[in-house]
DNA sequence: AGGCAGTGCAACGATCGCAA
DNA sequence: TTGCGATCGTTGCACTGCCT
């Protein structure tokens, strides 16, 4: 994701009334801390409000949570406006955020459970084996593999789900799962059908270009820590032709996915560490860099990164990260 | 108050049905 | 013809309602 593109996505989202945007990349890894701060400042200036960034990379992939605060907006509304996926984002009626309560607000989805995490992780490999596999049969095959797992083997994915739930809770402190009753669903469906014709004339004048800006590039592969403690694609690590059968026979799923125990421990602490890191980032940059710094003031050295550079890019020593 | 059963929903993409 | 929403299939979790 290009720097300017990420900026535009967030700014456009904000202008459309979405105060939290999830970018499908870890901007800290991609750009480094210095440019991350520059991104934060630039976006803050652009929208005229404070911006908080939370960068994470875990087995679910790399993400950057961009929280843009708006004065006088109740917290519960901020929670409800979290954009968590390209689908959710593109489904939002960008032209009328004020009508969110009335017509299709961006709903906060439930946190994923361990099986869903596992299913999503397995999907690329199973589809590589058999591209004709539909999602229904994919679920069945993953289910078969899942049932061969011991409690210990499932534990890894439970940790994954726990980390996701913790982050979900942090981003949506007021979130409460409220399933509808079947009667309510039927009532809503009939009401929708009636409103469909009337709504069609109203929504025809919305801004398709702005909605287009929210179609993020999908995160195609699961990201995991390898022996080198670097972030890489699981699909590239020790994956043989018959991925599914290997998983089914694997004694230790963590070993199969190229993980060591130390990385499990690392993942267990992910959420807490991420929280601490965020606070430290905040403290570090608040003291090290003035909020009014311009792009030019960083100097050439600060831009040692290049297009396509990843988290391996080495920053100048003055920007070294002690985490 | 606690336990249990039933139900909705989270992810995914193809497919189908319905309305305009 | 086009666009939209529901459905499928799976497991686990959260919630509601009922019963003891």
Of A22-26, A147-151, A230-234, the least confident: A230-234
Contact A14, A44 (CB under 8 A): no
Helices (H) and strands (E) in chain A, counts: 14, 6
Q: What tokens does A45 get?
A: 């200036």
The closest nt to A88, taking CA to C1', is: B11
pLDDT higher than 70, residue A249: no
d(C-alpha A11, C-alpha A21), whole Å? 10
A107: CB partners within 8 A, 6+ apart: A80, A88
Average pLDDT over residues A126-132: 90
Distance A197 CA to B3 C1' (A): 47
pLDDT higher than 50, residue A164: yes
Return the higher-pLDDT residue of A188 and A149: A149
Of A132-136, A168-172, A195-199, A206-210, the least confident: A206-210
The closest nt to A196, taking CA to C1', is: B19
Average pLDDT over residues A170-180: 90
As a whole number, the mean pLDDT across chain A is 57
pLDDT-derived band of residue A19, with 50, 70 and 90 as boundaries?
Answer: low
A 10 A CB-CB count for A227 gives 12
Place of tokens 């009337």: A198
The closest nt to A179, taking CA to C1', is: B8
Average pLDDT over residues A278-301: 34
What phi, psi does A18 have (nearest 5°)? -105, 115
Of A36-50, A158-172, A253-267, A275-289, the least confident: A275-289
Query: Where are any strands of DSSP class E within chain A?
Result: 20-23, 51-58, 61-68, 82-83, 223-225, 231-233
A309: CB partners within 8 A, 6+ apart: A30
Q: Which run of H or of E encompasses A61?
A: strand A61-68
CB of A306 under 7 A from strand B? no
């Amino acid at each position: 994701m290009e720097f300017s593109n990420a900026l535009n996505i967030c700014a456009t989202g904000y202008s459309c009334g979405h105060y939290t945007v999830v970018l499908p990349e870890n901007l800290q890894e991609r750009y480094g801390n210095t440019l991350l701060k520059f991104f934060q400042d630039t976006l803050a200036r652009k929208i005229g409000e404070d911006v908080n960034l939370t960068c994470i990379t875990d087995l679910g992939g790399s993400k950057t949570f961009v929280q843009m605060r708006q004065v006088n907006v109740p917290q519960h509304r901020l929670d409800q406006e979290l954009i968590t996926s390209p689908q959710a984002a593109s489904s939002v009626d960008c032209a009328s955020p004020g009508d969110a309560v009335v017509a299709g607000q961006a709903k906060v989805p439930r946190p994923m459970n361990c099986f869903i995490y596992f299913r999503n992780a397995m999907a690329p490999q199973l589809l590589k084996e058999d591209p004709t596999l539909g999602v229904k049969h994919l679920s069945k095959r993953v289910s078969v593999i899942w049932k061969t797992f011991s409690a210990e083997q499932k534990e890894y994915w439970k940790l994954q789900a726990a980390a996701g739930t913790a982050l979900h809770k942090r981003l949506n402190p007021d979130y409460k799962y409220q399933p509808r009753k079947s009667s309510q669903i039927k009532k809503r469906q009939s009401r929708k059908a009636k409103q469909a014709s009337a709504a069609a004339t109203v929504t025809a004048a919305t801004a398709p270009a702005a909605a287009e800006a929210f179609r993020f590039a999908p995160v195609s592969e699961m990201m995991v820590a390898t022996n080198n403690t670097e972030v890489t694609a699981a699909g590239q690590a020790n994956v043989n032709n018959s991925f599914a059968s290997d998983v089914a026979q694997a004694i230790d799923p963590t070993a199969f996915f190229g993980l060591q125990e130390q990385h499990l421990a690392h993942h267990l602490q992910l959420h807490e560490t991420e929280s601490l890191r965020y606070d430290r980032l905040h403290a570090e940059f608040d003291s090290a860099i003035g909020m009014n710094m311009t792009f030019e003031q960083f100097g050439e050295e600060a831009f040692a990164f290049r297009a396509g550079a990843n988290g391996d890019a080495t920053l100048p020593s003055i920007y070294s990260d002690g985490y």
